Structure 1
């Protein structure tokens, strides 16, 4: 059996650029947010960032659907779609991605909103002979960068897997910031079982 665990870390960038040099671009990282539900396996992959002055406004996940008697991995990848505040689209980013499953259709925040917090749906360990999938689905909350008081929108990924329970919401990016980067921790295939994101 194969193991693939994925743990998610996102980075909040301020609405103004004046800061740290990361991947040949300047981003002002104001907060690093990790998922509240995760495992302890795998290696961190490189951080990936939206281009300068762009933030995450869309979400796409790679999921292996149930395989019956085989080993299920569920969530195998998360892709963030990036746009600037004037709604110019700037491609997508992802960190480590598992080998199983396929990419589902993306979902997006409403016009003028960007992602600022998230939560994972995670299956608890199933014991020695159980089929652990770990992360199965993810949901983000969107808001305007300059306020969090009203017009919040929850964006569910399309095609998440069925197992597990929703964890708590992550911390939120501060006002005047939004998600701008992602880093995942993925356990490479082993001779054990196939497990997806941590």
Structure 2
């Protein structure tokens, strides 16, 4: 079984891969309803063919709002330059990521907004990988699960661009793609 890394765009999730057998023949989108309202959806990113996500890692901003993944200072390329990567979390051998939920802080008006602050993901054996993001906000409902035998193979993130001295939230929402 080969494994490699799939570094994805918003520097919020880093996914480890496991070999599959059927390729990316069909895809299904799974999402949640509580994502933050700011920013634009980026391009969808997929793992290499015949591979699936088996783990993830978050980059958490230092003390913005309540320390979530959302707040932070952007670099010139729109990336978050502040914060630290949390410890990578992985499913057991031969397991795949199949569903998720987000912890999101609702808009706060004049106060500092942080948007998406944490992420939990379920493995195909039912194990829940609990993200080590910030405590601000509330957990939303779990997404639908990938169909049996499928696994998460890609993602698309909604990220607020730099506000040039305004209130930066960073990550607001995420969608995952399930593949056969």
Q: TM-score band, normalised by the shorter chain?
A: 0.7 to 0.9
Bigger Rg, structure 1 or 2: 1
Q: How does 1:26-37 map to 2 (within 5 A)?
A: 27-37=24-34
8 Å CA contact retained: 1:117, 1:169: yes
**C-alpha distance in 2 between matches for 1:180 and 1:119:** 17
Count of aligned pairs: 150
Aligned to 1:124: 106
Question: Which secondary structure state, in structure 2, belongs to the residue aligned with residue 75 of structure 1?
Answer: coil
Q: Does 1:75 align with 2:69?
A: yes
8 Å CA contact retained: 1:6, 1:186: no
Q: CA RMSD in A?
A: 2.8
Q: How does 1:110-121 map to 2 (within 5 A)?
A: 110-121=92-103
TM-score, length-scaled by structure 1: 0.67
**C-alpha distance in 2 between matches for 1:46 and 1:73:** 26
Per-residue displacement from partner, 1:117-148 (whole Å, max 9, x unpaired)? Answer: 00000111112x111111110000001xxxxx
Q: 2:158 aligns with which of 162, 175, 185?
A: 185
Q: How does 1:148-163 map to 2 (within 5 A)?
A: 151-157=125-131, 159-163=132-136
5+ long unaligned stretches in structure 2: 1-9, 14-19, 72-77, 173-180
Question: Which secondary structure state, in structure 2, belongs to the residue aligned with residue 112 of structure 1?
Answer: coil
5+ long unaligned stretches in structure 1: 9-13, 18-26, 78-95, 144-150
